[in-house]
C-alpha cells in the first residue's frame, strides 16, 4: 500500500517496534519520509504465564506500550496489526486507525478446534480468544476506524460489538500484479505441486504437514513422479522432516513468482486461520490452477468451486482434484486465466489506499 503513496504524495513516517530489519528499512524508505525503530519487547521468561494471569493476549502483552511516546502533530496514525492496538494508550491524535486485518478472537477460537492440537493447546487457544474479546471491547472505543481484510471477519466483529458497528469495516487487499505475473516464465511441464507461506505461522505449518502426510502419499500412489514443493522462510525441524524424494522444502527464495510458475498446481490446504489470504491472491495473479480449502478462500467472493477453482472438503476430494489438474493442462489454462482476470479487475492496492486515507 505504501507504494501507492507516490501517486498521492502524503507525508508518511513509519515506526516499527519488533525485530530490527535494515533491509526492510531501506526498501520502505523509497516510498515514505522517515523510518524509526524502537524495541518495545519486554524481557523475561515468564511473559506468557504473566499474560495468562493478567488476562491479556500474549501477542499484545509482550510489548511495553509505556515506552512509546509520539508527539502530537500527525493528522492520522495507523496502527498495523492487532498486536499494536494497546499502543494507542499513550497516544493522542486527530484520527487513529487500527489495521486489524484478521479477527484474532475468531482465529484462536478456530485454532482450538483443530484435531492435531493437544488438550493444553486447546485450553490455551480458547483463553487467548477470550482475552482478545475482552481487550478489543476496551480498546476499539479509542479508534476512529477498525479495518479487516475479510468481510467475514468484519461481520463477525460487528456481531460481537454492536456498539462499534460504525467503526468496523473491511478493505480488499491488493496484489502487485506486475510483479506477480508468470508470463515472463515458460509454463511448467513438470508435475509440481506448490504451497507457499511463512512456515512458522501456525496455519501454514499445519497445512504443509497435513498435505504432506495425509494427502500427498495418496497422490504418489497414483503417480510417483509428482513433486510437492514447500516454499517459504522459517521452516523448523517438523517441516524439514517432511523432505523426501518427492517432497522439497526450499526455505526462502529470491523469486517467489518463478517458484509458483514452476508448478502445475497451487495448493492451499489451510485448516484454520482468518482473513483474506495473500498467498491465494498471488497464485491467482500468476495464473495457476488452485486447489484450496474453504478457509483459504474466505473473503475472495469471485472464486467459485468447479468454475475457476477446486475447493475440496474431504481428503479423497483433495486427491481427486489435485490429480485432475495435474493431468489436464486445459484446466490450468482455464482456471489460471479466469483468476488473473479477477485480480486485474478487483484487487488493486490503489482502492485499498483510497479507502484508508479517504483520498
Q: Supply 152's cell numbers.
A: 467475514
Whole-number Å distance between alpha carbons of 21 and 148: 26
Strand partners, 79: 98
User: For helices 151-160 and 119-139, what crossing angle results, to 10°?
Assistant: 70
Per-domain residue ranges of the chain: 40-170, 182-346
The whole model's pTM is what? 0.89
The answer, yes or no, to whether residue 10 has pLDDT greater than 90, is: no
**CB atoms < 10 A from the CB of 144, how many?**
14
Residue 311 to residue 235: CA distance in whole angstroms? 26
**pLDDT score of 117 more than 80:** no
Query: Tens digit of pLDDT for each residue in 289-301?
Result: 999 999 999 999 9
224-252 mean pLDDT:
97
Of residues 354 and 295, the one with the higher pLDDT is 295
Instruction: pLDDT band for 262, please (50, 70, 90 cuts).
Output: very high
φ, ψ of residue 231 to 5 degrees: the values are -115, 130
Return the higher-pLDDT residue of 18 and 305. Answer: 305
Q: Alpha-carbon dihedral of residues 153, 200, 303, 327, nearest 10 degrees?
A: -160
CA 239 – CA 325 distance, rounded (Å): 25
Round to whole Å and give the CA distance between 249 and 235: 8
The three-class DSSP label of residue 346 is helix
Tell whether domain 182-346 is in CATH 3.40.50.2000. Answer: yes
Distance CA 125, CA 111 (A): 7
Amino acid at each position: 500500500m505504501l507504494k501507492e503513496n507516490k501517486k498521492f504524495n502524503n507525508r508518511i513516517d513509519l515506526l516499527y517496534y519488533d525485530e530490527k530489519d535494515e533491509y526492510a528499512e531501506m526498501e520502505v524508505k523509497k516510498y515514505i519520509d522517515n523510518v524509526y525503530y524502537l524495541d518495545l519487547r519486554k524481557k523475561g521468561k515468564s511473559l506468557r504465564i504473566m499474560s495468562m494471569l493478567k488476562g491479556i493476549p500474549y501477542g499484545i502483552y509482550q510489548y511495553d506500550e509505556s515506552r512509546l511516546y509520539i508527539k502530537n502533530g500527525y493528522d492520522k496514525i495507523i496502527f498495523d496489526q492487532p498486536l499494536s492496538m494497546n499502543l494507542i494508550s499513550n497516544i493522542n491524535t486527530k484520527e487513529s486507525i487500527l489495521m486489524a486485518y484478521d479477527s484474532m478472537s475468531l482465529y484462536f477460537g478456530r485454532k482450538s478446534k483443530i484435531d492435531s492440537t493437544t488438550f493444553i493447546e486447546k485450553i490455551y487457544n480458547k483463553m487467548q480468544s477470550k482475552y482478545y474479546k475482552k481487550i478489543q471491547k476496551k480498546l476499539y472505543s479509542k479508534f476512529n476506524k477498525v479495518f479487516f481484510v475479510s468481510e467475514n471477519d468484519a461481520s463477525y466483529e460487528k456481531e460481537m460489538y454492536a456498539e462499534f458497528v460504525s467503526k468496523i469495516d473491511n478493505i480488499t487487499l491488493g496484489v502487485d500484479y506486475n510483479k506477480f505475473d508468470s508470463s515472463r516464465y515458460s509454463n511448467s511441464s513438470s508435475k509440481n505441486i506448490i504451497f507457499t507461506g511463512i512456515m512458522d505461522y501456525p496455519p501454514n505449518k499445519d497445512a504443509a504437514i497435513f498435505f504432506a502426510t495425509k494427502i500427498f502419499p495418496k497422490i504418489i500412489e497414483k503417480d510417483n513422479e509428482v513433486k510437492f514443493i514447500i516454499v517459504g522462510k522459517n521452516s523448523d525441524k517438523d517441516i524439514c522432516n517432511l523432505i523426501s524424494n518427492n517432497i522439497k522444502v526450499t526455505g526462502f527464495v529470491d523469486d517467489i513468482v518463478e517458484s509458483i510458475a514452476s508448478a502445475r498446481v497451487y495448493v492451499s490446504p489451510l485448516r484454520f486461520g482468518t482473513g483474506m489470504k495473500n498467498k491465494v491472491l498471488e497464485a491467482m495473479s500468476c495464473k495457476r490452477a488452485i486447489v484450496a480449502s474453504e478457509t483459504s478462500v474466505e473473503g475472495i467472493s469471485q472464486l467459485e468451486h468447479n468454475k475457476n477453482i477446486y475447493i475440496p472438503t474431504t481428503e479423497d476430494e483433495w486427491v481427486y482434484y489435485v490429480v485432475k489438474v495435474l493431468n489436464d493442462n486445459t484446466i490450468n489454462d482455464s482456471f489460471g486465466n479466469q483468476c488473473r482476470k479477477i485480480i486485474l479487475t478487483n484487487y488493486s492496492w490503489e482502492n485499498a489506499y483510497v479507502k484508508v486515507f479517504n483520498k
